Amino acid sequence: MSKVLVTGANGQLGSEMRELSSHYPQYTFTFADRSTLDLSNLYQFEDYFDNNRFDAIINCAAYTAVDKAESESDLTDSINHRFVSMLAKIAKRDDSTLIHISTDYVYDGKNHRPYIESDPTDPQGVYGRTKRDGENAILEAAPSNSIIIRTSWVYSSFGNNFVKTMLRLGRERDSLGVIFDQIGTPTYAHDLAETILEILPKIHNKIPEIYHYSNEGAASWYDFAKAIFELSDISSQVNPITTDQYPTPATRPHYSLLNKAKIKNDFGITIPYWRDSLKACLITLGEIK
């Protein structure tokens, strides 16, 4: 029976992994949160992996507070880059399969077609830069049987996210403005978690590979909010606004659609349409029947 470590156990993706773990009895899962594995404490990290060996490591942990990262660059780098670098070296030492979750923020958002994995990266903020540096650390360490999955706009029935924020604001306000000039694809963390666990035994590569995963289709944040309200029967008026009308400390990609052909072809998976997955999440949340 294979031993699998999931880091970031209490995050959206880690929580979805835990929820699904009972469906994969071929694995013995260890779910590590901050109390078990403090990612900002590199000394504790070394001790942990000296005493624990795993056949596979799924790294769901990350510093994801995009705006706050601009003022906490050292902590962000520690978690998104230096920790990942050490994790890659551990995976190589122990011959562990490594699955690392990255982000569409490694791109500058100036494309006019969905990004493919080989497109140049050009992150526009601390979060994206540290995630890109984490990717590069894995590529440099080059553990075999390792992959990087870039994803986007993640939400879940667990944790805090755009879906839950819109549900709350939609019931508190008669109207609200939502950005319409940033285009991407929402990703239901449940779908991503299921995909990761399905492809885990199929990962056999000599050098690290990069893949893209999000749900199918395209949307703006405005479209996303409209769909949440429509499916949940919330009557609040959603008004489209531009990025300039809602300034934030960190720059967001204006366009970050991800081409998923590579992961679909290499692993033979199908990916649900984003509105179908949103409906599934809202059912889980009890918002719709």
In tens, the pLDDT along 8-64 reads 999 999 999 999 999 999 999 999 988 888 776 777 888 899 899 999 999 999 999
pLDDT of residue 42: 73
Of 88, 117, 130, the C-alpha closest to 262 is 117
pLDDT, tens only, 231-269: 999 999 999 999 999 999 999 999 999 999 999 999 999
pLDDT, tens only, 151-192: 999 999 999 999 999 999 999 999 999 999 999 999 999 999
Q: Which residues, in sequence order, are CB contacts of 120 under 8 Å at separation 6+? A: none
Of 13, 15, 97, the C-alpha closest to 60 is 13
Of 43, 40, 6, the C-alpha closest to 21 is 6
CA–CA distance, 73 with 250 (Å, rounded to integer): 12
Residue 203, both tokens: 């990962």
3 state SS of 188: strand
Residue 42, both tokens: 């590199």
Q: What is the DSSP string of 68-130?
A: GGGT-HHHHHIIIIIHHHHHHHHHHHHT-EEEEEEEGGGS-S--SSPBPTTSPP---SHHHHH
Of the listed 127, 155, 222, 255, which one is catalytic? 127
Residue pair 87/57 in contact by the 8 Å Cβ criterion: yes
Indicate the domain borders of the chain: 2-160+185-216+258-272
Least confident of 22-36, 40-54, 109-123, 271-285: 40-54
Of 216, 223, 222, the C-alpha closest to 187 is 216
User: Considering Cα of 172, then 173, then 177, then 183, what sign does the dihedral take?
Assistant: positive
Strands 219-220 and 183-184: antiparallel
Which fold, 2-160+185-216+258-272? Rossmann fold (3.40.50)
Is the per-residue pLDDT at 207 higher than 70? yes
**Does 211 participate in catalysis according to the annotation?**
no
CA–CA distance, 190 with 176 (Å, rounded to integer): 28
